[in-house]
Structure 1
């Protein structure tokens, strides 16, 4: 005589009711939070986004100063809304062909964020792309109102040069500028190398808030244009990936997904608690580190290995110097320079420099990091 050990419906319900109740509570709380916050938008530099890379904080400050903001996401909407005032284009390279040239004629001030050569050719052929670099805190070196009032600003990214003597450049970096403004009879064009100063996570640091408000608030009307890939596809005659999939395939994939979920729920039943068993062996942490190092060496990933060494050294330096975990590069470099007597540029090159070209340079970098840590420890 055999006895069945499979759980019946009552036992399954007893085991599942507590997790289901917790899941239902989480769903109710999430719905309540979403409904209480009202309609939300998401995306980089979206004026209504509360995400770290959104721009709701700056948009709110501008609206408090009386600037009317119109958010658009297509070239057609931008044409309708652009009538004088300021136009900000967050991703100029996604605007359809000749769209920027047309929009410039409709506004008094055009602001482009990190434009490429094609976008510059439409808006300001006198300005050329000179390269790209890292983002950091830069000091102004000009008399432009927005830059002079803001002081140090989080800029960088693309670098530009201008062949027009009327162009005003600010925030120089590596022989070029990350801010170029050109004014002529058709209006003003401002080019930014990066958008970090306009985001929610950076607007409250340095002079970013004053910079954004002076730059985008010079007129009472601001059109905030965030181009979309769908807008580019619609004007170029191309279809998106999902539009190319036949309707029958989409229905089949949806049906298969439901079947997979039901199969997973059925096979997820357990006859008892999970049995814990000790591992047969213990792996030393040094072996794990050595194995990862061999993988880096086999793949020639000297840059990745160098960044791992630098991040570990920066973490130890923050602890020894009493700096917070979120301390940025300027704070670490200045503190280490003050302790060791090294020049800030030398400290920055060791802790935040570029990737080493070969293994010998990687070994030298490791020795430099050890030397910096020993000097800090002795101080």
Structure 2
């Protein structure tokens, strides 16, 4: 059988043709050039670019969620126990290191009780811009003997600091103090702005924006009241910049005790109602689940795309016979199946030689070996080892086996 011209891939017409194809496949497996089966860079890129795209998309959604989600809710702003960027834990730690007693309270009543216990040395009440107040609570705070530090413009400012009122907005940035307030002079430049304030007579205005101060302080009746247009210089995010830490410590740590008013946590439902399971899930988990759902949806859209209509193919497929033989040989080589290649060589040799020796197809090994040795003059031990010995241990042995059997077959045919 000569596999030179193309033809239809059909079953072999005889045992001889089958043996020839098997022998040719085994020889090709032994003599074909080495081809690497290692993955190439191009193949790795084509196979993994889809997974890489999905991974990059998931990372992008996660980063966007973190940036948009922020570092905490508004109720945690300037909280002495909050370590997020908008919290005030850094300032509280610095004050405690200086020996200042920092008391976190969530009500005006608690602040009044602690202010009464502070003793002759007094205390400072820090009121953030997010703490909720009504008129009565604002009046109670204004009547306390403690110093008062109001961070950010808020309602009831007329009750807390009479004469100080917002004038206009001012961009928050690094500013110089330009005033005679000792706390500001020692700190130097700081991140100030937010709102420009009116400075009543007898007060000191610092960190001006367009000639209008953004920090105003006045003293009277044994206490000091200070109002800042913005409180970002006290947060964990800005504390290490410029003289922000020094300014915050000087304003909040002037007394042995700092009473830090912080908005209370969200109250539980009234009437003994049960909180839903969804409400108990942290916001970070919700964001993560949303990102996973987006990733799964995009993966489904990518992998579920249409591949086009089914193409009908007429059978049998026209394939070159040589390609089929070479393909089988490459499979043998890729799997190092020298035993199967040797078995194919021996089976084809036996099928072709047995009829030429005049022997029936069921002839035993001894009779076949003796007949071949008598016809060709080869040693019976050599013929027996070639036909029934162990499989070759390497490709060189397989090539030698094929060459030896080819020689023996030609000798049988000539005799």
Alignment TM-score, normalising by the size of structure 1: 0.50
> Is the 2:131–2:262 contact (alpha carbons within 8 Å) kept by the matching residues of 1?
no
The structure having more radius of gyration, on CA atoms, is: 2
With over 3 angstroms needed to count, the CA separation of the structure-2 counterparts of 1:143 and 1:279, relative to structure 1, is farther
5+ unaligned residues in a row in structure 2: which ranges?
A: 1-74, 117-121, 281-288, 308-415
The partner residue of 1:226 within 243, 258, 262 is 262
> Quick one: higher RCO (CA 8 Å, sep 6+), 1 or 2?
2
Q: Give the superposed CA RMSD.
A: 3.3
In 1, are the aligned partners of 2:196 and 2:213 still within 8 Å (CA)?
yes
Counterpart position of 1:19? none
Give the C-alpha shift of residue 277 in structure 1. 4.8
CA distance in structure 2 between the aligned counterparts of 1:62 and 1:76, rounded to whole angstroms: 23
Q: Which moved more, 1:71-80 or 1:102-111?
A: 102-111
> What residue is the counterpart of 1:80 in the other structure?
113
**For this pair of structures, how many residues does the alignment match?**
212
CA distance in 1, matches of 2:130, 2:149: 10
* Pairwise CA distance, 1:91: 2.4
Question: What displacement does 1:226 show?
Answer: 1.2
Q: 2:204 aligns with which of 159, 165, 168?
A: 168
Please state how far the C-alpha of 1:58 moved relative to its aligned partner.
1.0
Is the counterpart of residue 149 in structure 1 residue 176 in structure 2? Answer: no
- The alpha-carbon deviation at position 98 of structure 1 amounts to 2.7
- Distance in 2, matches of 1:212 and 1:106, equals 22
Alignment of 1:255-274 (within 5 A): none
Work out the CA distance in 2 between the residues paired with 1:105 and 1:133: 30
1:138 counterpart = 2:171: no
> Contact 1:160 / 1:179 at 8 angstroms: preserved in 2?
yes
CA distance in 2, matches of 1:181, 1:192: 9
Quickly say closer, same or farther: Cα 1:146–1:228, change in 2 above 3 A. Answer: same
Instruction: Give the conservation status (yes or no) of the 8 Å contact 1:93–1:115.
Output: no
Partner of 2:214: 178
Question: In structure 2, the residue corresponding to 1:103 is in which secondary structure?
Answer: helix
Output one character per residue of 1:194-222: Cα deviation in whole Å (capped at 9) or x when no partner: 11110111101110011011111111111
5 Å matches for 1:266-285? 276-277=303-304
CA contact 1:197–1:208 (8 Å) conserved in 2: yes
Deviations 1:147-185 (A, max 9, x none): 10111101111221023x211000011342110001111
TM-score, normalising length from structure 2?
0.46
Structural mapping, 1:9-48, within 5 Å = 43-48=76-81
After the TM superposition, list the runs of 4 or more consecutive aligned residues in structure 1 that deviate by more than 4 angstroms. 240-244, 277-280
Unaligned runs of 5+ in 1: 1-41, 231-239, 258-263, 281-379
Corresponding residue SS for 2:250: helix
